[in-house]
Protein backbone atom coordinates (compact mmCIF):
# COMPACT_ATOMS: atom_id res chain seq x y z
CA UNK A 1 0.00 0.00 0.00
CA UNK A 2 1.25 3.51 -0.85
CA UNK A 3 1.38 6.14 1.89
CA UNK A 4 2.16 9.34 0.01
CA UNK A 5 -1.54 10.27 -0.02
CA UNK A 6 -3.42 9.91 3.27
CA UNK A 7 -6.81 11.19 4.41
CA UNK A 8 -6.14 13.50 7.37
CA UNK A 9 -8.89 13.98 9.95
CA UNK A 10 -8.93 16.61 12.71
CA UNK A 11 -11.46 15.79 15.45
CA UNK A 12 -12.46 18.92 17.36
CA UNK A 13 -15.00 19.87 19.98
CA UNK A 14 -17.27 21.67 17.50
CA UNK A 15 -16.34 20.15 14.17
CA UNK A 16 -14.65 17.17 12.52
CA UNK A 17 -12.64 18.21 9.46
CA UNK A 18 -10.83 16.18 6.84
CA UNK A 19 -9.05 16.27 3.48
CA UNK A 20 -6.68 14.09 1.49
CA UNK A 21 -3.06 15.15 2.07
CA UNK A 22 0.12 14.80 0.06
CA UNK A 23 2.41 13.87 2.94
CA UNK A 24 5.54 14.69 0.92
CA UNK A 25 4.58 18.30 0.24
CA UNK A 26 2.08 18.95 3.04
CA UNK A 27 -0.51 20.19 0.55
CA UNK A 28 -4.21 19.37 0.72
CA UNK A 29 -5.33 17.53 -2.39
CA UNK A 30 -8.94 18.72 -2.13
CA UNK A 31 -10.97 21.27 -0.21
CA UNK A 32 -11.42 20.24 3.40
CA UNK A 33 -14.81 18.86 4.36
CA UNK A 34 -16.30 19.68 7.77
CA UNK A 35 -19.14 18.03 9.67
CA UNK A 36 -20.30 19.29 13.10
CA UNK A 37 -19.15 17.11 15.98
CA UNK A 38 -22.12 14.99 17.09
CA UNK A 39 -23.71 15.65 20.47
CA UNK A 40 -23.18 13.49 22.41
CA UNK A 41 -19.78 12.78 20.88
CA UNK A 42 -19.88 9.05 21.60
CA UNK A 43 -17.36 6.69 19.97
CA UNK A 44 -19.87 5.26 17.51
CA UNK A 45 -21.22 8.68 16.53
CA UNK A 46 -17.76 10.14 15.89
CA UNK A 47 -16.61 7.06 13.97
CA UNK A 48 -19.65 7.37 11.71
CA UNK A 49 -18.84 11.01 10.96
CA UNK A 50 -15.34 9.94 9.92
CA UNK A 51 -16.94 7.33 7.68
CA UNK A 52 -19.06 10.10 6.11
CA UNK A 53 -15.95 12.21 5.44
CA UNK A 54 -14.17 9.25 3.84
CA UNK A 55 -17.26 8.62 1.70
CA UNK A 56 -17.37 12.30 0.69
CA UNK A 57 -13.90 11.95 -0.82
CA UNK A 58 -14.60 8.42 -2.12
CA UNK A 59 -11.54 7.47 -0.09
CA UNK A 60 -10.11 3.95 -0.23
CA UNK A 61 -6.70 4.43 1.39
CA UNK A 62 -5.29 4.90 4.90
CA UNK A 63 -6.60 7.48 7.40
CA UNK A 64 -4.75 9.56 9.98
CA UNK A 65 -6.73 11.15 12.85
CA UNK A 66 -5.83 13.80 15.39
CA UNK A 67 -7.86 13.20 18.55
CA UNK A 68 -8.31 15.49 21.63
CA UNK A 69 -7.00 12.98 24.16
CA UNK A 70 -3.96 11.10 25.33
CA UNK A 71 -3.69 8.17 22.91
CA UNK A 72 -1.53 5.19 23.94
CA UNK A 73 -1.12 2.37 21.43
CA UNK A 74 -4.40 3.37 19.79
CA UNK A 75 -6.34 3.50 23.07
CA UNK A 76 -8.00 6.64 24.49
CA UNK A 77 -6.85 7.45 28.03
CA UNK A 78 -8.29 10.87 28.87
CA UNK A 79 -11.57 12.70 28.23
CA UNK A 80 -11.21 16.33 29.29
CA UNK A 81 -13.31 17.76 26.45
CA UNK A 82 -14.99 14.66 24.97
CA UNK A 83 -17.64 12.16 26.06
CA UNK A 84 -16.43 10.04 29.00
CA UNK A 85 -17.46 6.87 27.18
CA UNK A 86 -14.27 7.18 25.15
CA UNK A 87 -12.04 6.12 28.04
CA UNK A 88 -10.18 2.87 27.24
CA UNK A 89 -11.70 2.60 23.76
CA UNK A 90 -9.30 1.34 21.08
CA UNK A 91 -10.06 4.20 18.72
CA UNK A 92 -7.86 2.91 15.91
CA UNK A 93 -9.64 -0.43 15.87
CA UNK A 94 -13.06 1.25 16.10
CA UNK A 95 -12.52 3.63 13.18
CA UNK A 96 -10.85 0.91 11.11
CA UNK A 97 -13.85 -1.37 11.66
CA UNK A 98 -16.45 1.33 10.90
CA UNK A 99 -14.74 2.75 7.79
CA UNK A 100 -13.11 -0.45 6.54
CA UNK A 101 -9.88 1.57 6.17
CA UNK A 102 -6.62 1.29 8.17
CA UNK A 103 -6.46 4.17 10.63
CA UNK A 104 -3.73 5.71 12.80
CA UNK A 105 -4.79 8.00 15.68
CA UNK A 106 -2.59 10.45 17.62
CA UNK A 107 -3.16 13.30 20.04
CA UNK A 108 -4.52 16.30 18.14
CA UNK A 109 -1.95 18.81 19.44
CA UNK A 110 0.84 16.38 18.58
CA UNK A 111 -0.58 16.17 15.07
CA UNK A 112 -0.71 19.96 14.67
CA UNK A 113 2.81 20.19 16.06
CA UNK A 114 4.13 17.61 13.61
CA UNK A 115 2.76 19.70 10.75
CA UNK A 116 4.37 22.84 12.17
CA UNK A 117 7.75 21.13 12.56
CA UNK A 118 7.76 19.60 9.09
CA UNK A 119 6.12 22.33 7.02
CA UNK A 120 5.42 25.36 9.24
CA UNK A 121 6.94 27.79 11.73
CA UNK A 122 8.98 25.12 13.53
CA UNK A 123 10.80 23.90 10.43
CA UNK A 124 14.62 23.81 10.89
CA UNK A 125 14.44 25.00 14.52
CA UNK A 126 17.03 22.89 16.35
CA UNK A 127 16.12 23.65 19.95
CA UNK A 128 12.98 22.96 21.95
CA UNK A 129 9.75 23.99 20.23
CA UNK A 130 6.39 24.04 21.99
CA UNK A 131 3.16 24.07 20.03
CA UNK A 132 0.10 25.38 21.90
CA UNK A 133 -3.32 24.82 20.33
CA UNK A 134 -5.69 27.29 21.94
CA UNK A 135 -9.35 26.49 21.37
CA UNK A 136 -11.92 24.55 23.42
CA UNK A 137 -8.98 23.61 25.64
CA UNK A 138 -5.22 24.02 25.44
CA UNK A 139 -3.32 21.30 23.65
CA UNK A 140 0.47 21.07 23.89
CA UNK A 141 3.13 19.41 21.77
CA UNK A 142 6.82 19.37 22.70
CA UNK A 143 9.69 18.87 20.24
CA UNK A 144 13.45 18.85 20.74
CA UNK A 145 15.67 18.64 17.66
CA UNK A 146 12.52 17.84 15.72
CA UNK A 147 11.66 14.82 17.87
CA UNK A 148 8.22 14.63 19.51
CA UNK A 149 7.58 13.94 23.18
CA UNK A 150 4.09 12.48 22.72
CA UNK A 151 0.97 13.10 24.80
CA UNK A 152 2.09 16.04 26.92
CA UNK A 153 -0.86 17.58 28.76
CA UNK A 154 0.63 20.87 29.91
CA UNK A 155 -2.64 22.64 29.24
CA UNK A 156 -3.64 21.21 32.61
CA UNK A 157 -0.99 23.01 34.65
CA UNK A 158 -2.38 24.59 37.79
CA UNK A 159 -2.64 28.33 37.25
CA UNK A 160 -4.25 30.67 39.79
CA UNK A 161 -5.49 27.62 41.68
CA UNK A 162 -7.29 26.01 38.75
CA UNK A 163 -6.74 23.96 35.63
CA UNK A 164 -4.93 26.32 33.22
CA UNK A 165 -7.16 25.60 30.23
CA UNK A 166 -10.24 26.53 32.26
CA UNK A 167 -8.61 29.90 32.93
CA UNK A 168 -7.04 30.77 29.56
CA UNK A 169 -8.63 28.71 26.77
CA UNK A 170 -10.34 30.49 23.87
CA UNK A 171 -13.60 28.87 25.00
CA UNK A 172 -13.18 30.59 28.38
CA UNK A 173 -12.53 33.92 26.67
CA UNK A 174 -15.82 33.56 24.84
CA UNK A 175 -17.88 32.28 27.78
CA UNK A 176 -16.63 35.03 30.11
CA UNK A 177 -16.90 37.63 27.32
CA UNK A 178 -13.34 38.82 27.86
CA UNK A 179 -11.89 41.37 25.46
CA UNK A 180 -8.64 40.41 23.77
CA UNK A 181 -6.27 42.53 25.93
CA UNK A 182 -7.80 41.19 29.16
CA UNK A 183 -7.63 37.64 27.92
CA UNK A 184 -4.12 38.29 26.60
CA UNK A 185 -2.89 39.14 30.10
CA UNK A 186 -4.23 35.81 31.33
CA UNK A 187 -2.61 34.00 28.46
CA UNK A 188 0.68 35.73 29.17
CA UNK A 189 0.56 34.34 32.72
CA UNK A 190 0.33 30.87 31.23
CA UNK A 191 3.22 31.57 28.83
CA UNK A 192 5.34 32.82 31.73
CA UNK A 193 4.81 29.51 33.52
CA UNK A 194 5.68 27.55 30.36
CA UNK A 195 8.86 29.58 29.95
CA UNK A 196 9.81 29.21 33.63
CA UNK A 197 9.52 25.42 33.45
CA UNK A 198 10.84 24.58 29.97
CA UNK A 199 12.73 27.53 28.40
CA UNK A 200 11.93 26.68 24.79
CA UNK A 201 13.55 28.31 21.78
CA UNK A 202 10.19 28.89 20.13
CA UNK A 203 6.49 28.79 21.06
CA UNK A 204 3.98 28.37 18.23
CA UNK A 205 0.37 29.39 18.84
CA UNK A 206 -2.23 27.36 16.96
CA UNK A 207 -5.97 26.87 17.24
CA UNK A 208 -8.64 29.53 16.98
CA UNK A 209 -6.64 32.14 18.92
CA UNK A 210 -3.78 32.03 16.42
CA UNK A 211 -5.89 33.87 13.84
CA UNK A 212 -6.28 36.85 16.21
CA UNK A 213 -2.77 37.06 17.63
CA UNK A 214 -2.41 40.71 16.65
CA UNK A 215 -5.21 41.51 19.12
CA UNK A 216 -3.26 40.22 22.16
CA UNK A 217 0.40 40.20 21.06
CA UNK A 218 1.08 43.40 23.03
CA UNK A 219 0.24 41.56 26.26
CA UNK A 220 2.95 38.92 25.74
CA UNK A 221 6.06 39.79 27.76
CA UNK A 222 8.11 36.58 27.83
CA UNK A 223 11.62 36.39 26.36
CA UNK A 224 10.86 33.32 24.26
CA UNK A 225 9.94 34.00 20.64
CA UNK A 226 6.18 33.51 20.13
CA UNK A 227 4.70 33.15 16.62
CA UNK A 228 1.33 32.14 15.15
CA UNK A 229 1.03 28.83 13.34
CA UNK A 230 1.45 29.21 9.57
CA UNK A 231 -0.84 26.34 8.62
CA UNK A 232 -3.81 27.54 10.73
CA UNK A 233 -6.90 25.31 10.34
CA UNK A 234 -5.08 22.87 8.08
CA UNK A 235 -2.38 21.95 10.63
CA UNK A 236 -4.34 19.21 12.39
CA UNK A 237 -5.36 17.58 9.11
CA UNK A 238 -1.84 17.69 7.66
CA UNK A 239 -0.22 16.51 10.89
CA UNK A 240 -2.63 13.60 11.28
CA UNK A 241 -1.70 12.41 7.79
CA UNK A 242 2.01 12.81 8.54
CA UNK A 243 1.59 10.77 11.73
CA UNK A 244 -0.16 8.00 9.83
CA UNK A 245 2.64 7.88 7.28
CA UNK A 246 5.22 7.71 10.09
CA UNK A 247 3.30 4.76 11.56
CA UNK A 248 2.85 2.87 8.29
CA UNK A 249 4.09 -0.35 9.89
CA UNK A 250 1.15 -0.28 12.29
CA UNK A 251 -1.19 0.47 9.40
CA UNK A 252 0.13 -2.57 7.55
CA UNK A 253 -0.66 -4.71 10.59
CA UNK A 254 -4.25 -3.39 10.56
CA UNK A 255 -4.55 -4.11 6.85
CA UNK A 256 -3.31 -7.64 7.33
CA UNK A 257 -5.72 -8.25 10.20
CA UNK A 258 -8.65 -7.00 8.11
CA UNK A 259 -7.63 -9.20 5.20
CA UNK A 260 -7.51 -12.27 7.45
CA UNK A 261 -10.87 -11.61 9.12
- Minimum mean pLDDT range among 75-89, 205-219, 241-255: 241-255
Identify whether residues 241 and 223 lie together within a single domain.
Answer: no
Identify whether residues 190 and 206 lie together within a single domain.
Answer: yes
Which of left, alpha, beta for 182 (phi over 0: left; psi -120 to 50: alpha)?
A: alpha
Domain of 24, in residue numbers: 5-110+234-260
> Can you tell me the mean pLDDT for 181-205?
97
Per-residue model confidence (pLDDT) at position 106: 96
For helices 248-260 and 91-99, what crossing angle results, to 10°?
A: 50
> Can you tell me the mean pLDDT for 229-258?
78
Per-residue model confidence (pLDDT) at position 185: 98
Identify whether residues 94 and 172 lie together within a single domain.
Answer: no
Identify whether residues 184 and 101 lie together within a single domain.
Answer: no
Per-residue pLDDT tens digits for 79-121 = 888 889 999 999 999 999 999 999 999 999 999 999 999 999 9
pLDDT band at 250 (very low <50, low <70, confident <90, very high): low
- Tell me, yes or no, whether 165 lies in a domain: yes
- Tell me, yes or no, whether 119 lies in a domain: no
Identify whether residues 26 and 45 lie together within a single domain.
Answer: yes
- Tell me, yes or no, whether 115 lies in a domain: no
Per-residue model confidence (pLDDT) at position 82: 86
Per-residue pLDDT tens digits for 20-56 = 999 999 999 999 999 999 999 999 999 999 999 999 9
- Counted domains in the chain: 2
CATH number of the domain to which 164 belongs: 3.30.420.40
Q: For the chain, what is the mean pLDDT?
A: 92
Identify whether residues 205 and 250 lie together within a single domain.
Answer: no
Identify whether residues 253 and 204 lie together within a single domain.
Answer: no
| pLDDT at residue 256 tops 60 | no
- Tell me, yes or no, whether 68 lies in a domain: yes
Per-residue pLDDT tens digits for 59-79 = 999 999 999 999 999 999 998
- pTM confidence score: 0.90
- Tell me, yes or no, whether 69 lies in a domain: yes
| pLDDT at residue 148 tops 50 | yes
Per-residue model confidence (pLDDT) at position 261: 45
pLDDT band at 167 (very low <50, low <70, confident <90, very high): very high
Identify whether residues 153 and 102 lie together within a single domain.
Answer: no
- Tell me, yes or no, whether 130 lies in a domain: yes
Per-residue model confidence (pLDDT) at position 1: 54
Q: What is the DSSP string of the chain?
A: ---SEEEEEEE-SSEEEEEEEETTTTEESS--EEEEPPSS--HHHHHHHHHHHHHHTT--S-EEEEESS-EETTEE---SSS-GGGTT-BHHHHHHHHHSS-EEEEEHHHHHHHHHHHHSTTTT--SEEEEEEESSSEEEEEEETTEEETT--GGG-EETTEEHHHHHSHHHHHHTT--HHHHHHHHHHHHHHHHHHH--SEEEEESGGGGGGGGTGGG---SSEEEE-SSGGGHHHHHHHHHHHHTHHHHHHHHHHHHH-
Identify whether residues 53 and 85 lie together within a single domain.
Answer: yes
| pLDDT at residue 159 tops 60 | yes
Amino acid sequence: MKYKKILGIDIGGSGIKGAPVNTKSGNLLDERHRIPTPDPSTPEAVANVIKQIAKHFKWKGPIGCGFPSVVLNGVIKTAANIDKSWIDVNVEKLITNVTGLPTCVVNDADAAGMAAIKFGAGKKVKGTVIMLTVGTGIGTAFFTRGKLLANTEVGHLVLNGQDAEKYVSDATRKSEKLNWPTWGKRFNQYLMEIERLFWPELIIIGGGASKKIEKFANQITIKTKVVPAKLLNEAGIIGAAIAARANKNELEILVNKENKS
